[in-house]
């Protein structure tokens, strides 16, 4: 299953003296001096590039701006173009015009930018057998006797294709970096590509193998599989295979030894054999053994010959009531909680080894999911990777953000920190049109752990300390906090000069825009505060540790423990903005709890999926939202219901909320490496096991 795991644990190093009371800093007024600035003109080809000067966004080309004289770094960014960095550039009265020519991205540049070592990228064939993909080496795609156009792009002067006999075909690279030539491959065996720089790459040319009935194929079970020409081999069982061997023109190769595993074609060009694949697990690591005609092979690779693969799969068969009949899938070894319904069978979404919703629906893998709804427009909902402007009915994707924050006064403005975006950089992005377009506004030296926005300022918790901006992140300055390892910040929406900061040394407050901090009377033995939530004027403060929830009703002067909760995520507490007596808490083991009396008493609401990190939020209409595995939920009629059924969840199995839990339809599970089948009496679940030695 294609799942990308992106996990972020962010601890920011910051330091303050311990002890109660306020500490004055910067008591001597800073000395001022005249700054020499230069008006510069910045352009690019093509126009429309975002330009960062020393990591700060300054404009879109072409534009002019004032810059302090001296050495600076200019970074040009444009979607679908590769960034250009000019470092250093000397800006003074004689150097005030700067331009960059941007290069359109293409497959070759992407390959090299991601660390690719090859000097050549082919348009189609040959596929170079230089990497292992899911337990097999991709075949070259070239068959004996075939004539192929060999074309592509290279950053060398020339290369030769060397046949097994030693014959050579020379390719000279044009100034454009492109090459193309028609070549007939009339020899079988190992070919070499020798470049003008002395590097050698290898590919093979063999006869073509075509699977014949009744040999089972992976595509017969997994209709969306990526594997082509692959024999389906049930784990631990012999499978009879029948294969036709031909040249590129489909002429049968008769009575010919294939040179592998003792296989030889008959007088019709057909080869028959038995294949078996066994799987064992030790310390969560899978190992495989492959047998051809009962003989154990030295290594277990999916390749049998040329383009012919043997792919193992597991199968679990169970009754419609969930009783296991048979299973070769270790993750399914006991009876399953099932709900037969309308000729289908529904099972809990994580019945297969606890996989997340993002796995089933191919969304993303953000482990710090967030969800927010601006007070000034409760119809707008932002999540870590999507936005809705119509109360969650329709959604569109944004970037994959590790943390987000909305402007409380301007719901169209959203900030997000991302390192998975079209610009290919880790940066703070800003949108002023409800997430339709984002521009990078700040590139930190490290990472950004959290963003908080009040009516006047934007705060960033970064690897290098706490930063604050008063102009929409056009400029940033450090917030002089020395209170230990910062964990979380919370803003006061009625007093923009106030900020709460939790750290490993307690909870601190500033009321003068980071000039001084005082330590609040949070219990010393309570543990580090992971997340906080406040009402508008920050008189009511909820603070959560890994084991409990605390509340202060007097701005942090006194605190009470309100309950034992396992709080894991930074968005685990949500206050009803219109009724601050109503508070919600997400417990990583038990789901959502609700209090209507400032946390004195809680009642359990639960949650439809098992997830340890879920972001929750309440909008100005008092509606409760949650984000789990990048799927947004809304609490209505006593249940959390997924939003975005026709957008976010459109690429996965059908689902239903049954008894408050998230169930998926077995019949509708149809992924490249997973498949569900339901008949009149029973249901079955199939999973591909790529062999990765």
- Give the pLDDT confidence of 240-297 residue by residue, as tens digits: 999 999 999 999 999 999 999 999 999 999 999 999 999 887 666 778 899 999 999 8
* pLDDT above 80 (res 134): no
Contact 183, 147 (CB under 8 A): yes
* 58-62, 137-141, 361-365, 554-558: segment of lowest average pLDDT: 361-365
Kindly tell me the sign of the dihedral angle through the C-alpha atoms of 228, 232, 236, 237.
negative
Q: What is the pLDDT of residue 446?
A: 84
3: phi then psi, degrees, rounded to nearest 5: -145, 125
Is the pLDDT higher at 184 or at 59?
A: 184
Q: For residue 3, is pLDDT > 70? A: no
**Residue 40 pLDDT greater than 60, yes or no:** yes
What band does 331 get if pLDDT is binned at 50, 70 and 90? confident
Q: Please give the mean pLDDT across all residues of the chain.
A: 87
Is residue 305 predicted with pLDDT exceeding 90? yes
Predicted pLDDT at 590 = 94
Judge whether residue 303 has pLDDT over 50. Answer: yes
Long-range Cβ pairs for the range 438-441 (8 Å, 24+):
438/398, 438/399, 439/50, 439/57, 439/60, 440/50, 440/52, 440/57, 440/77, 441/56, 441/57, 441/472, 441/473, 441/474
Q: Say which residue the tokens 């007070």 belong to.
A: 375
More confident residue, 87 or 548: 548
Percentage of the chain modeled with pLDDT above 90: 61
Give the residue-averaged pLDDT of 158-186.
95
Binned at pLDDT 50, 70 and 90, residue 431 comes out as: very high
Judged by average pLDDT, the poorest of 240-244, 388-392, 436-440, 665-669 is 436-440
89-101: average pLDDT: 91
Q: Which two tokens stand for residue 485?
A: 């390892």
Predicted confidence at residue 367, as pLDDT, reads 66
The rounded percent of the chain whose pLDDT value lies above 70 is 90
More confident residue, 300 or 583: 583
Q: How far is CA 16 from CA 479, 482, 508, 517, in A?
A: 11, 2, 10, 9
- Residue 71: pLDDT above 50? yes
Beta-strand runs (E) in 320-378: 324-327, 339-341, 344-348, 371-372
pLDDT score, position 135: 46
pLDDT at 34 over 80: no
What local confidence, expressed as pLDDT, does residue 470 receive? 94
Beta bridge partners of 684: 317, 677
Q: Which residue has the higher pLDDT, 78 or 335?
A: 335
Q: Is the dihedral of CA 104, 107, 112, 113 positive or negative?
A: positive
pLDDT (mean) for 28-44: 65
pLDDT at 59: 79
* Predicted local confidence at residue 27, as pLDDT: 32
Residue of 279, 345, 239, 312 lying closest to 684 (CA atoms): 345
Residue 170: pLDDT above 70? Answer: yes
pLDDT of residue 9 exceeding 70 = no
Measured distance CA(155)–CA(178) in Å, rounded: 9
pLDDT value, residue 19: 33
Say if residue 112's pLDDT is above 60.
Answer: no
pLDDT digits (tens, 9 = 90+) for 404-427: 999 999 999 999 999 877 776 789
Average pLDDT over residues 526-544: 90
Are residues 666 and 678 in contact, defined by beta-carbon separation less than 8 angstroms? yes
pLDDT digits (tens, 9 = 90+) for 448-501: 999 999 999 999 998 888 999 999 998 999 988 988 878 899 999 889 999 999
Residue that wins the pLDDT comparison between 630 and 379: 379
Query: What mean pLDDT comes out for the span 83-97?
Result: 88
Residue 45: pLDDT band (50, 70, 90) is: very high
DSSP 91-124: EBTTB-EEEEEPEEP-HHHHHHHTT---SEEESS
Confidence of residue 326 (pLDDT cuts 50, 70, 90): very high
Please tell me the predicted confidence (pLDDT) of residue 651: 78
Residue 275 CA, distance from chain mean position = 37
Specify the DSSP element, H or E, that contains 467: strand 465-469
Q: What pLDDT does residue 98 have?
A: 94
The pLDDT of residue 109 is 46
Distances (CA, A) of 49 to 69, 101, 221, 423, 436: 23, 10, 48, 11, 17
- Predicted local confidence at residue 629, as pLDDT: 86
Radius of gyration of the CA atoms of the chain, in A: 31
* Residue 169 confidence (pLDDT): 98
pLDDT of residue 547: 93
- 112 phi, psi to nearest 5 deg: -70, -40
Per-residue pLDDT at 29 exceeds 70 = no
- How far is it, in rounded angstroms, from Cα 43 to Cα 20? 53
With a cut of 50, say whether residue 659 has pLDDT above it.
Answer: yes
pLDDT at 318: 96
Structure confidence at residue 118 (pLDDT)? 61
Cβ-based neighbours of 167, under 8 Å, separated by 6 or more: 187
Q: Give the alpha-carbon dihedral of 478, 480, 482, 486, to 10 degrees.
A: -40
Query: Looking at residue 312, what is its pLDDT?
Result: 95
Q: How confident is the model at residue 141 (pLDDT cuts 50, 70, 90)?
A: very high
Q: Which is nearest to 210 in space by CA: 265, 257, 255, 261?
A: 265
Per-residue burial over 618-631, b = 16 or more CB atoms within 10 Å of its CB, e = otherwise:
bbeeebbbbbbbbb
Instruction: Kindly tell me the burial class for residue 225, based on how many C-beta atoms sit within 10 Å of its own C-beta (0-12, 13-18, 19 or more).
Output: buried
Q: What is the pLDDT of residue 129?
A: 58
The more confident residue out of 37 and 571 is: 571
Q: What is the pLDDT of residue 366?
A: 67
Read off the tokens for 133.
Answer: 């993909």
């Amino acid at each position: 299953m294609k799942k990308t795991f992106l996990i972020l644990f962010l601890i920011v190093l910051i330091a303050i003296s311990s002890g109660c009371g306020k500490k004055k800093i910067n008591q001597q007024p800073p000395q001022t001096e005249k700054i020499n600035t230069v008006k510069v003109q910045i352009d690019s080809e093509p126009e429309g590039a975002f330009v960062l000067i020393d990591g700060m966004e300054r404009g879109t080309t072409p534009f002019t701006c004032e810059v302090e004289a001296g050495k600076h770094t200019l970074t040009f960014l444009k979607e679908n173009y590769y960034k250009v960095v000019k470092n250093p550039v000397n800006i003074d009265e004689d150097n005030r015009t700067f331009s960059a020519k941007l290069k359109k991205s293409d497959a070759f540049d992407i390959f090299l930018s991601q660390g690719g070592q090859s000097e050549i990228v082919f348009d189609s064939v040959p596929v170079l057998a230089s990497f292992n993909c899911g337990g097999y080496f991709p075949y070259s795609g070239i068959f004996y006797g075939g004539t192929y156009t060999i074309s592509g792009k290279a950053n060398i002067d020339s290369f030769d294709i060397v046949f097994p006999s030693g014959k050579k075909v020379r390719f000279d690279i044009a100034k454009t970096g492109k090459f193309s030539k028609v070549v007939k491959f009339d020899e079988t065996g190992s070919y070499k590509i020798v470049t003008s720089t002395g590097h050698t790459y290898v590919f093979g040319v063999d006869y073509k193998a075509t699977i014949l009935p009744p040999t089972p194929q992976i595509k017969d079970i997994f209709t969306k599989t990526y594997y082509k020409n692959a024999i389906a081999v049930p784990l631990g069982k012999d499978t009879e295979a029948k294969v036709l061997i031909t040249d590129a023109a489909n002429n049968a190769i008769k009575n010919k030894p294939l040179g592998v595993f003792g296989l030889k074609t008959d007088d019709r060009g057909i080869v028959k054999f038995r294949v078996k694949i066994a799987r064992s697990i030790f310390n969560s690591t899978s190992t495989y053994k492959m047998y051809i005609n009962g003989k154990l092979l030295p290594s277990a690779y999916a390749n049998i010959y040329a383009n012919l693969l043997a792919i193992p799969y597991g199968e679990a068969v169970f009754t419609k009531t969930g009783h296991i009949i048979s299973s070769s899938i270790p993750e399914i070894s006991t009876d399953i909680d099932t709900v037969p319904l309308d000729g289908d069978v529904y099972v809990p979404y994580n019945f297969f080894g606890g996989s997340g919703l993002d796995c089933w629906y191919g969304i993303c893998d953000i482990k710090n999911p967030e969800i927010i709804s601006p007070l000034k427009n409760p119809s707008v909902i932002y999540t870590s990777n999507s936005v809705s402007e119509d109360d969650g009915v329709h959604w569109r994707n944004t970037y994959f953000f590790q943390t987000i924050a909305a402007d409380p006064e301007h719901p169209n403005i959203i900030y997000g920190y991302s390192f998975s975006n079209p610009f290919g950089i880790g940066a703070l992005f800003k949108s002023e049109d409800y997430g339709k377009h984002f521009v990078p506004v700040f590139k930190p030296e490290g990472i950004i752990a959290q963003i908080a926005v009040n009516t006047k300022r934007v705060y960033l918790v970064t690897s290098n300390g706490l930063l604050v901006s008063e102009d929409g992140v056009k400029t940033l300055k450090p917030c002089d906090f020395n209170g230990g390892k910062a964990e979380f910040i919370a803003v006061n929406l009625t007093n923009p000069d106030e900020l709460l900061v939790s750290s490993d040394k307690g909870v601190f407050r500033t009321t003068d825009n980071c000039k001084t901090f005082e330590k609040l009377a949070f219990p010393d033995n309570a543990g580090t505060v992971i997340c906080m939530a406040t009402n508008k004027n920050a008189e009511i403060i909820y603070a959560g540790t890994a084991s409990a929830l605390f509340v202060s009703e007097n701005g942090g002067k006194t605190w009470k423990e309100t309950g034992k909760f396992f709080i894991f995520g930074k968005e685990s507490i949500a206050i009803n903005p219109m009724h601050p007596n109503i508070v919600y808490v997400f417990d990583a083991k038990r789901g959502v709890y609700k209090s209507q009396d400032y946390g004195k008493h809680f009642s359990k609401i639960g949650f439809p999926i098992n997830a340890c990190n879920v972001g929750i939020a309440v909008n100005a209409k008092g509606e409760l939202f949650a984000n789990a595995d990048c799927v947004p939920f809304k609490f209505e009629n006593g249940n959390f219901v997924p939003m975005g059924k026709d957008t976010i969840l459109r690429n996965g199995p059908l689902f239903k909320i049954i008894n408050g839990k998230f169930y998926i339809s077995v019949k509708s599970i149809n992924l490249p490496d997973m498949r569900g089948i339901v008949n009149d009496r029973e249901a079955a679940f199939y999973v591909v096991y790529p062999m990765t030695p």
